[in-house]
Amino acid sequence: MQTRRDSRRVPSAAAIGCLAALGFAGEVRSQEDTREIRVAVMQHDVLHPGSDDREGGANLEMALLSRPITVLDAVGRPRAYISGSLNSDGDTNFASVGLSWRRAVSDRVSGEFQFGYAVHDGVLDTDDPVEARSRLLLGSRDLFRSALGLNWEVSRDVSIGVQWVHLSHGQVLGDGRNQGIDTAGLVMTYRFR
């Protein structure tokens, strides 16, 4: 049975994603012809911080981003990405692919929106009341992944930033349970030619 809180989470995440996509589809930051590698340390399950009744630990994430995709000029020249995330407590790990849009806020600061597809090794649903209280019940092996970030250019090739990531099936890729996962943390990016 889906809780009231769970049912509100999907529309709000979808609304944030749509607004971000509209904002980033317009005037996109001019990007050099580079690829990127990213390393991030994220707090896992930020909606239940310090709680003993949900998943915890930190996630170590790595991602590779392509050069801007010129054939997608009409939608802001996004970059393709592939990423993986490992949880330090042995809870839910995931891998994802998708597109990433960036827009300049100033000369050194940029905002970013990502949207893609993820698979995970977490719990889908359970009849075990202990497991139901200690794990996020995701309802589907297939999830959408959306992310918002803010980056600061340290140099031409390095940036640091913060990022929030939400994973959920949105009642589209699955049905039933949909507690989703939210992570937030620090990201370091290195650009290479």
- Mean residue pLDDT across the chain: 82
Rounded CA gap, 131 and 178, in Å?
15
The 10s digit of each residue's pLDDT in 116-157 is 999 999 888 888 888 877 888 787 899 899 999 999 999 999
Of 92, 38, 32, residue with least CA distance to 65: 38
Residue 100's pLDDT band, with cuts at 50, 70 and 90, is very high
Cβ(83)–Cβ(59) under 8 Å? Answer: no
The DSSP code sequence of 58-112 is EEEEEEEE-S--GGGGGGT-PEEEEEEEEETTS---EEEEEEEEEEESSSSEEEE
Percent of the chain with pLDDT over 70: 79
* Higher-scoring residue by pLDDT: 5, 113: 113
Complete domains list, the chain, with CATH: 4-192 (2.40.160.20)
Q: Is the pLDDT of residue 5 over 80?
A: no
State pLDDT tens for residues 160-193.
999 999 998 877 776 677 788 899 999 999 998 7
Q: Is the pTM of this model over 0.85?
A: no
Tell me the C-alpha distance between 115 and 98, whole Å. Answer: 6
User: How much is the pLDDT for 179?
Assistant: 80
Q: Is the pLDDT of residue 85 over 80?
A: yes
